Structure 1
């Protein structure tokens, strides 16, 4: 157990991200083994970046070859840390980046 559930600082409720297991690896040109090992937040940021480009009135094809970047700060999440060594040896894939 990571913490006492009766502790006053422990969260009483949790939010859930729907469909965290759904990701179109082929659309994003990500190998399916890597996609299966990617942290769900990494997959989600790819989807949201794509949506942001379209919401801004552009398409990826229009931006291809142009000096455009999307910059995001990130760090290891708990799920990446816990599965890093196991998944690397099993599939040959570890961290996308």
Structure 2
């Protein structure tokens, strides 16, 4: 299942696999990917060459998505909430 909605200049997409493996990717920009930064075991922030965050991937989501230390957390939370994807407290 894919979910799309406008958020800033990008699109929020949720790709749902089986119940044990849910992945959520939020695209913040269409700039080319240069490198990624792993935040904890299940979160990856993608960056453009100039250091601008262009996307955030949440791996192995079960129950809710954690947004601590994530760039553009307010925009991402709003997009996920519109699609009933829970945000961890």
**TM-score normalised by the chain length of structure 2:** 0.23
The structure that has the greater radius of gyration is 1
**TM-score normalised by the chain length of structure 1:** 0.22
Higher helix share: 1
